[in-house]
Amino acid sequence: MYPFRSDGDDMKYDMIVKRWEAFLREAGVGTYITSTFGTTDKQSVVVSHRDINLHDPELADHLLENPTSVIRGAERAANAFIPPDEIELLKARGLKPELNVRIKEIPMTDRIEVRSIRAAHLNRYIAVKGLIKNTVQVRPRLHIAVYECLKCTEKVRVIQERMVQKEPLQCPGCRKDQSLAFRLLTDESVFIDTQKLEIQESPEGLKGGEQPQRLTAYLEKDLTGQVFPGNKVILNGTVRATPSRASRVQSTTYNIYLDVNSIEIEEHDFEDYELTAEDEEEIILLAKDSNIYDKVASSIAPTIYGMELEKNVLALQLFGGVMKTAPDNTKIRGDIHILLVGDPGTAKSQLLRYISRMAPRGIYASGQAATRAGLTAAAVPDDTGEGRWTLEAGALVLADKGMACIDEIDKMRSEDRSSMHEAMAQQTVSVAKAGITATLQARCSLLAAANPQHGRFDKFKTIIEQINLPPPLITRFDVIFSLMDKPDAEKDGELASHILKTSMVAEQMQHDRAKGSHIEPIADETIVPAIDHELLKKYVSYARRNVFPVLTQSAAERLNEYFVDMRRVYSIEGTVAITARQLEALIRLSEASARLRLSEKIVLDDVERSIHIMENFLHTVALSEDGSYDIDMYATGTGISKTKRDRLTNVLQIIRNAGAEGITRDDLRNETAPLDINEEELEYILNQLREEYSNVYIDQTGRIKSTR
């Protein structure tokens, strides 16, 4: 072991190199470099900080404090292991060996939250964990500039830093000449790949309601192009500062960025919840509770009154079904998608915000809020104005492997409408714009809320007719709930007292806090969750990580029987009650139901629970005029039953048959009378054809014409 110099804490550079050489040799990295260099196109060797710490704790510490010189030393040492013949080969091509040493797995104590990075961290080696929010296109950056003196044509090499281009201070050829003038020789200069990105704090770490903060980071060389928006990563690197570019005068306030040395891509979803043995014990015990479904459901948004069935389904959504890969390699999603359509003031927004805080990787966004990335992802011009493009993740990509809560989804922008479809169907988002092509993962469950088309529910129309969403999107939801704000004296009284109680408890807590007095635990179970928030999060994460239920024979039989029955009964009438999509939804709900109990087996009870939910759902969206279910109302996404649709098409056909001339109202009435369509109904149908489908219009003379 080479000793430190005892005076001061600065390790001499050649000492650093020697210690690295010793470490690389002992750890076997040296032999690795010697035997593999040139056989792969790898430009880096990766070492774990833990290993360095085992061999040479002083070097390991020194690295965290003085990363710039210590990493440079590491690279010098690593390059020394490259076999001489390989170096000759490089030299012949005018290159020098430049192995990068990438250091990962640094101590947890040096893992810093974005929001906590301060001046004290400047020029230190830290780890930052989070989600990639956006990535800018990879670009070349001038690394070693070769200048030519305009006077004596002497060449000067200048190693460049990241932000500003450095010119030579003196020409070694003409020496003290005052009039320095150089020309950059781009052909002979060396460029390296560089990429800028932003990392955002992951939602798990945030306290309720906090906005995630972001940090700019730069990647270089072989690190570029490796990560994409939505990836969950740990970036290890050096904190550096650059002057704010606010004015022309050199500013004294600096912006901080991370000069990334290595990336660890996180594969696991919920590792943020390090579960202790006691946690696991508590969870397993809780899962055995005979009342567990109600307990979990009632722990969801306890301040929101009622909505028992909704909360039950939301509970299942948290746990989720199991993602499967079919033999032909198509993926069947396990994520459950839920849509809440409701009158204003029915606590939709409140529920979504609540869920986004307790769901794994929960992201809340409003369809209305126009962020650059929209709800899915987008290529947008980089805000530095350098003409580059940034690939930026929206809510659904950031919520990959978690849950996206999208409020007012009916008000989303038109760009989002098309990309939402891909996100819901394939669970990916593709971007192809300005030379950026990427497919990002969006494997999230979606909880969406919408208001009825005209603000309030129209009781003369079906629910689906009043959802202002493209039909293909509507049909991707496993369950749709309608929340109507109907006055009901008894329920209203209970709702009022619930809201009042919540508010009084909150006021009391506020009062106690202000007075600094001891806060009594509140024992009222109607507003205090049966399962503590933190515990529930851990429970969900444990279940999703460890439990993958499969159907038992009896459960499969029951599903099969239900499906066949539903199809048979209604096929007699020429309508279809449920389709394969609903069967998949039933399976997902059953899986979630088993998971909630931490059971590897889906039993009859789980299936009955999901059938109950499905029946309720069909009742909401597919109850046709004659009281039977007609899934066409839902499956076509139009909300129109087959009988009604037949009538619409019949009337439309008559109008179309009339050709360019059109038809008068009277004639149309005469022709539709035999079809058992009365005058009032005809007016209604005409209205629909005109306003909702724009298939027909009435000209100035009152003739009804088809639009094509």
The answer to the question of residue 349 lying near ligand ADP (CB under 6 A) is: yes
Q: Give the separation between CA 351 and CA 315, rounded to whole angstroms.
A: 12
Q: Of 343-351, 554-562, 585-593, 600-608, which segment contacts Mg ion by CB under 5 A?
A: 343-351
Short-list 554, 552, 606, 595, CA closest to 321: 595
Q: How many residues bind Mg ion (CB under 5 A)?
A: 1
Q: Give the separation between CA 141 and CA 388, rounded to whole angstroms.
A: 13
Residue among 24, 171, 234, 304 that touches ligand ADP (CB under 6 A):
304
β-sheet bridge partners, residue 47: 103
Q: Tell me which DSSP letter residue 167 carries.
A: P
Exposure string for 345-381, b = 16+ CB within 10 A, e = fewer? ebbbbebbbbbbbbbbbbbbbbbeeeeebbbbbbbbe
Who contacts 640 (Cβ-Cβ below 8 Å, separation ≥6)? 462, 464, 465, 632, 633, 648
The answer to the question of residue 350 lying near Mg ion (CB under 5 A) is: no
Q: Give the separation between CA 416 and CA 407, rounded to whole angstroms.
A: 14
Which is nearer to ligand ADP, 36 or 368 (by Cβ)?
368
The answer to the question of residue 302 lying near ligand ADP (CB under 6 A) is: no
Q: How far is the CB of 307 from ligand ADP (least distance, A)?
A: 6
Could you say which of Mg ion, ligand ADP, none residue 641 binds, taking C-beta under 5 to 8 angstroms by partner kind? none
Q: How far is the CB of 407 from Mg ion (least distance, A)?
A: 6
Which is nearer to Mg ion, 349 or 643 (by Cβ)?
349
Short-list 126, 132, 100, CA closest to 113: 126
Q: How far is the CB of 534 from ligand ADP (least distance, A)?
A: 23
Number of residue whose CB is nearest Mg ion: 349
Report the 10 Å Cβ neighbour count for 656. 16
Q: How far is the CB of 447 from ligand ADP (least distance, A)?
A: 13
Of 305-324, binders to ligand ADP (CB under 6 A) are 305-306
Q: Give the separation between CA 494 and CA 657, rounded to whole angstroms.
A: 57
Q: How many residues bind ligand ADP (CB under 6 A)?
A: 14
Q: Look at the alpha carbons of 561, 563, 564, 565 in this order and tell me if their dihedral is positive or negative.
A: positive
Residue among 83, 172, 225, 345 that touches ligand ADP (CB under 6 A):
345
Could you say which of Mg ion, ligand ADP, none residue 304 binds, taking C-beta under 5 to 8 angstroms by partner kind? ligand ADP
The answer to the question of residue 493 lying near ligand ADP (CB under 6 A) is: no
Q: How far is the CB of 630 from Mg ion (least distance, A)?
A: 30
- For residue 60, give Cα distances in angstroms to 57, 172, 346, 467, 689: 5, 40, 57, 60, 74
Which is nearer to ligand ADP, 18 or 456 (by Cβ)?
456
Which is nearer to ligand ADP, 458 or 492 (by Cβ)?
492
- 445-450/338-342 β-pairing: parallel
At 621, phi and psi to the nearest 5?
Answer: -110, -15
Short-list 1, 11, 15, CA closest to 77: 15
Q: Give the separation between CA 665 and CA 654, rounded to whole angstroms.
A: 12
The answer to the question of residue 448 lying near ligand ADP (CB under 6 A) is: no
Q: How far is the CB of 340 from Mg ion (least distance, A)?
A: 10
- For residue 12, give Cα distances in angstroms to 4, 16, 71, 159, 187: 8, 6, 13, 22, 36
Who contacts 367 (Cβ-Cβ below 8 Å, separation ≥6)? 375, 406, 407, 408, 409, 410, 411, 412, 413, 416
Tell me which amino acid residue 218 is.
Answer: Y
Q: How far is the CB of 370 from Mg ion (least distance, A)?
A: 17
Residue among 69, 189, 349, 664 that touches Mg ion (CB under 5 A):
349
Give the torsion through C-alpha atoms of 284, 589, 206, 212, to 10 deg: 160
The answer to the question of residue 453 lying near ligand ADP (CB under 6 A) is: no
Q: Give the separation between CA 18 and CA 73, rounded to whole angstroms.
A: 9
Sequence-ordered strand ranges (E) for 137-253: 139-149, 155-159, 182-184, 190-200, 214-220, 232-243
The answer to the question of residue 650 lying near Mg ion (CB under 5 A) is: no
The answer to the question of residue 346 lying near ligand ADP (CB under 6 A) is: yes
Q: How far is the CB of 483 from ligand ADP (least distance, A)?
A: 7
Could you say which of ligand ADP, Mg ion, none residue 346 binds, taking C-beta under 5 to 8 angstroms by partner kind? ligand ADP
Which is nearer to ligand ADP, 421 or 533 (by Cβ)?
533
Q: Of 17-25, 117-125, 299-307, 575-583, which segment contacts ligand ADP by CB under 6 A?
A: 299-307
The answer to the question of residue 643 lying near Mg ion (CB under 5 A) is: no
SS (H, E, C) 53-89: HHHCHHHHHHHHHCHHHHHHHHHHHHHCCCCHHHHHH
Sequence-ordered strand ranges (E) for 419-545: 428-433, 436-441, 445-450, 479-483
Could you say which of ligand ADP, Mg ion, none residue 528 binds, taking C-beta under 5 to 8 angstroms by partner kind? none
Could you say which of Mg ion, ligand ADP, none residue 495 binds, taking C-beta under 5 to 8 angstroms by partner kind? ligand ADP
Of 350-389, binders to ligand ADP (CB under 6 A) are 350
Q: How far is the CB of 372 from Mg ion (least distance, A)?
A: 23
Q: How far is the CB of 364 from ligand ADP (least distance, A)?
A: 12
Residue among 342, 402, 529, 639 that touches ligand ADP (CB under 6 A):
342
Could you say which of Mg ion, ligand ADP, none residue 305 binds, taking C-beta under 5 to 8 angstroms by partner kind? ligand ADP
Q: How far is the CB of 207 from ligand ADP (least distance, A)?
A: 20
Q: Of 51-59, 105-113, 163-171, 493-501, which segment contacts ligand ADP by CB under 6 A?
A: 493-501
Q: Of 78-86, 338-346, 361-369, 688-696, which segment contacts ligand ADP by CB under 6 A?
A: 338-346
The answer to the question of residue 69 lying near Mg ion (CB under 5 A) is: no
Q: Of 168-176, 217-225, 274-282, 347-355, which segment contacts ligand ADP by CB under 6 A?
A: 347-355
Which is nearer to ligand ADP, 210 or 485 (by Cβ)?
485
Tell me which amino acid residue 674 is.
Answer: P
- For residue 386, give Cα distances in angstroms to 136, 186, 251: 11, 19, 21
Q: Contact positions toward ligand ADP, by CB under 6 A?
A: 304-306, 342, 344-350, 495, 498-499
Q: Which residues bind Mg ion (CB under 5 A)?
A: 349
